[in-house]
A and B are shown apart, each in its own frame.
Chain A
Amino acid sequence: MSHDHPQRADAAPPSWWQDLADTIRQRPALRAALAVLLALFLLAVYAPLLASDLPLLAREHSQWSSPWLNNLFNKTYYDGPLDPTFNLLILALPLYGLARWLLLRRIPHLSRWAGALFVLAASWLALDPAANYLNPPDSPRESGLHDLLGAYQAPYPKGVHDRSWQWHLPAPIAFSFRTTTAHPHSAPTWQGRPLLHSILWQGSTDAPPRLHLAPSLPRWRHPLGTDNLGRDLTARLCYGARAAITVGLAAAAIAVGLGTLLGLLAGWVGGWVDLLISRLIEVMVCFPSLILILALTALLDAPSLFHLIAVIGLTRWTAPARLMRGEALRLRQEVYITAALALGLRPREVLFRHLLPNAIGALAVATTFAIANAILVESTVALLGMGDATVPTWGKMLNDGRVFHNTAMMLLPGLALFVTLLAINLLGEGLRDAFDPRQQRQRPPPS
């Protein structure tokens, strides 16, 4: 039997991950976008490290403690599950990186998901003892990781503005997103002098009643100024990134997940299922989605961020659905799908193992744009005053700025939104280019 001439091919067969990596390497705009998004993610995760009114390290009566670490999972302090979840990542990320680098290189069969779970479990075990070890002896028990899921209500801790220690190491910005100070509407200053012409930072002087008024501190401690309640804008911007990421990812996940499921079903099965789902899509598309979202939010008395995420997800699934339906219809004709059916695979196996991986390109692009869309919609809803009042999202900051006529309060979150959405859109376009030529492979010159 004659053998084919062994192909002197590349060392490793190029997969589409490598195609993607090549595209990213070639386009500077895409590299910049990825860098911005990575910076945003790190900013969101490490926001408490940057801006907190609890000292990172404190010494009292010759006892070292870390009030910051002790209160990472304090539900009272953070008011809601969003921040403690992100705080989990503060420690989990470096631990995961370390574990991957050390362990998985030596144990190649350990799948990376097992590694991640291991790291999360390790950080859970590590944090609790660490938190308790670093407790000063005479203070009440602070909150640990397992209290996050339990009913324990830790007391509201006192921060750098409410008590003093023998020695303490504050965070770079000694304010949290809720700490109010004596400087409402303060402009950015450097060494005591205002940075820009004060005309830009003129605001209304009648501020509403203050809460938790902190003692007076020099103005320069607020690098970007404060809002009407004297809350530091830098801190709020950093914590706002958390809300943006949460809304973006979660709402996009719901929308794309639901849309993909329905779209694939419609395209693959066809017949009356397709008819039904397509008509459903058309009915949903007829409603202007923003109005629909506002109407649904108005039905709820106090819409929380998670209500908003659910609403956005449930109204924005039509675009991915149509896209995946088109992909399913197109790919259904491919010969390898028929070949897979001829092999005797079940239809659902063919759908998920053959059809879906080949539609990943369109899916990835749709997801990216869905994320950007979700962030924008949430900001719009918050700007109109109908968002979650307790979470410091960028849209809420925009709204506050609008209400109190403070330009800095509008400019800064606006800029943050602009940069984020630009980066996501650039990423989406880059992904689209990376996946498109893959599907229309370059044909070799005719023989």
Chain B
Amino acid sequence: MALQLTDTTAPATAAPRRVPGGWTFFVRAPFILYAPAAMFLAAFFLVPLGLVVWTSVSEPELGLGNYAEFFASTYDLGVLARTFRTALIVTLASLVFAYPVAYVAARKGGMIGAFLLGVVALSFWTSFLVRTYAWMVILGARGPVVGLLVALGVEPAPQLLFTTFAATFAMAHMLVPFMVLALYAVMRRIDETHMRAAASLGARPWRAFATVYLPQSLPGVLNGATLVFITCLGFYVTPTLIGSPQDKMIAGRIGQEMEQLLEFGAASATSMILLAAALALFALYDRFFGIERMWR
């Protein structure tokens, strides 16, 4: 029956952002907009990358010999395993440190939140090299940590530098800002009223956190973990400078094959394996979340 009440509520959300149909504002064909970048990247990015692919199956001779050698070599497989293991440790460690920071910044906000983010930003924008150098000093034989340990009576003076421990610790420290920013980006969108609702419904703080906040922060955790893990996989500078020369990570191995051993075929194959691992993880992430989410 026609007993509708007339609709006097305010209009719905903003007008759609669809490009007006059939009438674009600048160019009819977007070709001239994207073609330069596309051609540039093709010439100066895809070609060198393709060259690596090609080299991996053509040096020193055609075939999959380099790959066969990689998977047959216990050394190389050890490098791969170590890299994954280290990346996992780094990811977990940085998550443990980053979560409280992001949490306080997101929930408390205000001056303290801004301050925390400012310090994180400072770390984020300082180059890896500078921060690696800082760790070199701190963990060095004449640095404060060894000094402290010796003063506490540890004999003989332990060597902390040029160990896998040093590289792992430093990398975790350096990737915490990535993790914080990824977590924060998601956490700041968590509606504060949810926690209040949980409290009004009788949930104690820890319970409310575990059942309401934590699940909503998981996308941020996944974002950050993926980003940190993949970055750590390909990390060159820090492991090479302060990590163990015997226990290399995969990027260092590639560098070694390139510079010292001059085995470009092997280096290319190792690169491909590293790339495959990174791409696989990104593809997995993109399937679930869409890749640009990582940098939002």
Is chain B a partner of chain A in the same complex? Answer: no
